[in-house]
Structures are given as structure tokens and as C-alpha cells.
Amino acid sequence: MNLSTLLRQRHDSNRPVRVAVIGAGKFGSMFLAQVPTIAGLEVVTIADLDPDRARQACRTVGWDDARVAATRFTADGLDACRDDAEVVIEATGHPEAGIRHALAAIEAGKHIVMVNVEADVLAGPLLAEKARKRGVVYSMAYGDQPALVSEMVDWARAAGFTVAAAGKGTKYLPHYHQVTPEDVWTHYGLTPDQAKAAGMNPQMFNSFLDGTKSAIEMAAIANACDLDVPEQGLRFPPCGVDDLAQTLRPREDGGQLDHDGMVEVVSSLERDGRPVFRDLRWGVYVVLKAPNDYAAACFKQYGLPTDATGRYAAMYKPFHLIGLELSISVLSAALRGEPTGSTRSWRGDAVATAKRDLKAGEMLDGEGGYTVYGRLAPAARSKAERMLPIGLAHGVRLTRDVRAGSTVTEDDVSLDADRLAVQVRREMSSRFG
């Protein structure tokens, strides 16, 4: 509640919070757009594979020439991790790069804010442990759904409620799991030329549609909040905000969950394609369970939407502003020494699942591609069955056939044991879960 006050004190004493940003894409650009209006926050370095594009991004979001000139631009993310900054923001979206940058920032004694949920789900428990031992903060990115949900879960538990369910909304139909970058734009109401003119990456946008991003984000929430994941993956029940408490409660109480304390994503579309009434497509939610009859009565008295029993109630936020809110994580790390959500255990994993019949010799193309999508799985099952994490499913060759809808395992592919991401993932898997 007092971040702005703490920041003002730093500003008044001429000790701004200094930040390095790795990745000047959409998320990074939205953060950069807010920087000129936050006195006491200073971006000292921006790393991007194309520094000129990063400079242009700064101008596009409203930076003046003086601010651009005062900022160092580099193509080397590791260089940014070693720079004179308190906090490093990792916003590349590339799991292997994210792991490399997180390790470098932690080693250099910098707080690290992981916009890169892909890297966090691949090896987050190990990265968070290394950060704690080094005495720095390893944090989720406020504004993205996992951090916002983590905040709601923390609030609920601190207030004495049981968390029945937590998650987000999205646009989903079962056949979306088979969508490829070739036909993704029809689902967004765009032509390929329109998307290209807007600089939109078809594989990235397809990962939002085919269920991969939902799997990754729900795994991150489960791991940060000690929540369970559905044994057979996300169900994506159609559900509007008025029905959250009714739908997202245990089956024994009339809902669709296995038990209390689970993650789930609700769809903004009915299975026949009709829009859900008062959908939560852009938002996040938590379903609370009252600990006693008195608290349940208070739910009704104070206007919370409840289920038919009155025991379960839902709270939700109908939007998330991704990078526009990212400074909350940066300032929380630098001024309070606290993360806005952080991996604590290994409960959920996002695993590669065949979109079609795949043949030995084919090359997997990873998140949002033509060959596989990410499906949520319990970490214990993923470990026991050697499921291939979606974060390692890019640029690896199949050594045997995999049928459509089947999970790809590490035994189905040829993994390079010398890759950093493979090494870190195996270390994490051997230590956790």
C-alpha cells in the first residue's frame, strides 16, 4: 500500500530504482511506456536482439530523445544482467534464454522479475531456490495473470478462507488444440496481411489460442500457490462471472472440480461457439470457501456472488494490463524485498502433446507451432512418466512416432544433454517433485 511513498523517498534522496530490461516486445514496451511518469524509476539498459528496434519501441511509446540517449542499448542480455541495475526484467519469452538470464542476474546479485513464464515453469523451483540463497528476489510479473492470481490467493488465505479454485478466463473450444500458425488469424478476425502489418507473430498468438499459454500459466499459479492441477489437464468449462462459485467447486458439492484447492481456466465460449454471458476472457478469479456458517452469511450480506449453498463465493478482476502494471513487481522487489508471487514448489507442469500424428524424424517446433501444444499435467506424473516439457519441445527431433493427442516423452526425442535448459531442467526435476 505504500510503494509510491517508498519510491518518493528514493527519488527525493536522488537514489532512483535502476532497472535493466531484456526484451522490448509488447510486454516490455508496455512497461517502458509507463517509465516516464514514475518518478524515481530509471531504466539504465535495454537488451534486445535488435537494439535499433528497441530504440524505436521507446520512441513509439512516448520516450523523448533525451531519455533514449541516456539509456544504453545492447543485443546481449547477459551484458544487461551485469550492468548497474538493482532489478532485471526478463521479458524475452524464450525459455532457454530466460533461464540463462535469470542465473546471470542472480549470480550478479540482482533481483529478477520473470515475465518469462515459460522459463519459470520449466525450472522455476530451482531458480527461486538459487535466488533465495543469493539473497535476491525472484518474482512473477505483476500485470500478468499468474502474479495477479497469486495476490488474490494470498489475500484469501490471509483472511482465513479456503481457496477452492483459482485461475483465469480465455477463449477456448476443444478444436483449438489443433490450430496451427497457418490458420490462426481466422480465429482473431484478421487476415495474414493485416497481422503482418501489425507486427504480430503467428506462432506466439497461436500459443494463446491452442491452450499452451493457459497450461503454462496455470502450472505457474499451482507452483506459486501450492494448488493442485487436474489429473487429465484443464477442462476449460464455459463459465461467466456470475457462475464462478457454482461451477468451480468440488463435484461432491455440485461443481466440476475434483476437490478444493485447484487451478482451472474458464472459457468465454459455450461448446457450440455461443458467447458466455458476462465472460471472464481477459480476467482472473479466486473462489473462496467460508470456514463457518457465520462467514457464509456475511458473503450474502455484503454482496459476494455465491453458489446455491452460500458457502462458496467468487471474487474476480475482469482485466489484466500486463506491462502497464509491471512496475509493481519492480518496486516491490527493490523497495520491500518481496516478490509479487514466486514459485515455491513443483506441483504443475506444461507438457508437449501431439497436434496430429507425428512421425519419427520430424522436428518439433515448440510453443504455438505446427506439431505440439502444451497441456497441463501434475508434476509428479510428468516426472514419473518422463513427459517432455513444452519448454524443451522446440528444435528437437522425434526418434519414434507419436499419435495425435498423445503426450510426447523424453524417450520419444533426441535431447542435447549439453544444452543449458536441459541441464537445469534435469537438475530441477531431480531435486523437486
pLDDT at 1 over 80: no
E strand spans, 78-171: 87-90, 111-114, 138-140, 162-170
The residue count for the chain: 433
Amino acid at 423: Q
What is residue 196's predicted lDDT score, i.e. its pLDDT? 78
> Which value, in Å, is the radius of gyration of the alpha carbons in the chain?
21
* DSSP 8-state symbol, 358: B
| Per-residue pLDDT reduced to its tens digit, 179-189 | 999 999 999 88
Mean pLDDT of 43-55: 97
Contact 280, 145 (CB under 8 A): no
Using 50, 70 and 90 to split pLDDT, how confident is the model at 194? confident
SS3 of 329, please?
Answer: helix
Mean pLDDT of 9-38: 96
Mean pLDDT of 322-342: 97
Beta bridge partners of 228: 262
What is residue 238's predicted lDDT score, i.e. its pLDDT? 98
Domains in the chain, start-ordered, CATH in brackets? Answer: 3-143+323-336 (3.40.50.720), 146-172+211-320 (no CATH), 181-210 (no CATH), 349-431 (3.90.1210.10)
Q: In angstroms, rounded to a whole number, what is the distance separating the alpha carbons of residues 306 and 278?
A: 16
What is residue 9's predicted lDDT score, i.e. its pLDDT? 96
Using 50, 70 and 90 to split pLDDT, how confident is the model at 195? confident
| Per-residue pLDDT reduced to its tens digit, 360-418 | 999 999 999 999 999 999 999 999 999 999 999 999 999 999 999 999 999 999 999 99
The CB density around residue 402, as the number of other CB atoms within 10 Å, is: 25
Q: What is the distance, to the nearest Å, from the Cα of residue 75 to the centroid of all Cα atoms in its chain?
A: 24
Which of 9, 85, 3 has the alpha carbon at shortest distance from 328? 3
| Edge-to-edge strands, sheet with 394-398 | 363-365, 394-398, 413-414
Beta bridge partners of 358: 402
Which of 370, 357, 369 has the alpha carbon at shortest distance from 404? 357
| Per-residue pLDDT reduced to its tens digit, 53-78 | 999 999 999 999 999 999 999 999 99
DSSP string for residues in 33-68? HHGGGSTTEEEEEEE-SSHHHHHHHHHHTT--HHHH
